[in-house]
Amino acid sequence: MQITLTLNDVRVSEEIAPDMLLIDFVRAHGCKSVKRGCETSNCGLCTVFMDDKPVLSCSVLAARADGHKITTLEGLQEEAAEFGAFIADQGAEQCGFCNPGFIMNALALFREQPYPTEEQVKEYLAGNLCRCSGYEGQLRGIMSFLAWKKQKEGVQ
């Protein structure tokens, strides 16, 4: 079947199998940041934005994305680097395999709640598993990013 969607601001039209999952579609289109870590919707590695909302691309049919806007980390490189630098400054990226999904969802959080508390961060990102970091360094990175952003934006 034919679908047309916007992938990282580029219009893509393609013939696909009806049971193709969005994760496989975006990876086939070069968005290799999107990772598969489980088959049970538990890990969050495959997080992408569908119409600016974070979703698990392993659980979305590519067919269902027809007519929608899909964003992966490839389409958010500046934001990823800006925020990611704070994670890197903690050494909390570690193996890096969960990073794209985690960073996508963190960016989604910052859009919804510009200055979340620690508890809000933990709750929003609960569906992003990481086996390396123990999450503590990620949290330090997030909080120092938020402090930096607050200062930059002149928020008290």
Partner 1 sequence: MKTVNKPFRKKDAMQLVTGQPVYMDDIIPQDCLIVKLLRSPHANAIVRTINTAVAKKVPGIEAIFTWEDVPQNARRYTQAGQTYPEASPYDRLLIDRHVRFVGDVVAIVAGKDEKCVDKALKLIKVDYEVLEAVLDFHTAKDNPILVHPEDNWESLAPVGADNKRNLCAHDECGNGDIDAVLAGCDVVIDHVYHTKACQQAMMETFRTYCSIDTYGRLNVLSSTQIVFHARRNIANALHIPKSMVRVSKPRIGGGFGAKQTAVSEVYPAFVTWMTKKPSKLIFSRVESQTASSPRHEMEMHVRLGATKDGIVKGIDLYTLSNTGAYGEHGPTTVGLSGHKSIPLYGKAEAFRFVSDVVYTNHMSAGAYRGYGATQGLFAVESAVNELAHKLNMDPIALRLKNTVQEGDVMPAYYGAVNTSCALDRCVLKVREMIDWEHKYPARDMGNGKIRAVGMGMAMQGSGISGMDVGSATLKLNDDGFYTMMIGAADMGTGCDTTLAQIAAEVLDCPLDNITVFGADTDSSPYDSGSYASSTTYVTGKATEKCAMKLREQICKLGAELLGCPADAVEFDGKVVFESADPTRQKTLSEIAFASQFGHKIPLEFTETHTSPLSPPPYMVGAAEVEVDTETGEVKVLEFDACVDCGTPINPNLTRVQAEGGILQGIGMTLTENITYDRNGYPEENSLFQYKIPARNDIGHIHVEFENSYESNGPFGAKSIGEVVINTPLPAISDAIYNAIGTRFYELPITPEQIAMAVTAKH
Partner 2 sequence: MMTIREYKRAESLEEAWQLNQKKPNRILGGMIWLKMETINVGTAIDLSGLGLDTIEETEDSFSIGAMVTLRQLEQHPGLAAYTHGAMREAVRHIVGVQLRNLATVGGSIYSRFGFSDVLTMFLAMDCDVELYKGGILPLQEYAQRPYDRDILVRLIVKKTPMQLYYQSVRNSQTDIPVLTCAAARMETGDYRIVIGARPLCAVRFELPAEPALAAEQLAAQFAESVKAQVITGSNMRGSAEYRRHLAGVLTKRAVLELEQRKMQEEK
Q: Could you list the residues that contact partner 2 (CB under 8 A)?
A: 1, 18-19, 21, 39-42, 44, 47, 50, 53-56, 58-61, 63-64, 66, 105, 108-109, 123-128
- For residue 17, the minimal CB distance to partner 2 (Å) is 8
Minimum distance of partner 2 from residue 128's CB (angstroms): 7
Interaction of residue 91 with partner 1, rule CB under 8 A: yes
Report whether 57 contacts 51 (CB < 8 A).
Answer: no
Chain positions 6 to 35 lying near partner 1, rule: CB under 8 A, are 28, 32-33, 35
User: Nearest distance from residue 54's CB to partner 1, in Å?
Assistant: 15
Q: What is the 3-state secondary structure (H, E, C) of the chain?
A: CEEEEEECCEEEEEECCCCCEHHHHHHHCCCCCCCCCCCCCCCCCCEEEECCEEEEHHHCEHHHHCCCEEECHHHHHHHHHHHHHHHHCCCCCCCCCCHHHHHHHHHHHHHHCCCCCHHHHHHHCCCCCCCCCCCHHHHHHHHHHHHHHHHHHCCC
Q: Is 128 in the site for partner 1 (CB under 8 A)?
A: yes
Can residue 57 be called a binding residue for partner 1 (CB under 8 A)? no
Residues that bind partner 1 (CB under 8 A): 28, 32-33, 35, 37-43, 45, 72-74, 77, 80-81, 83-85, 87-100, 103, 122-123, 125-139
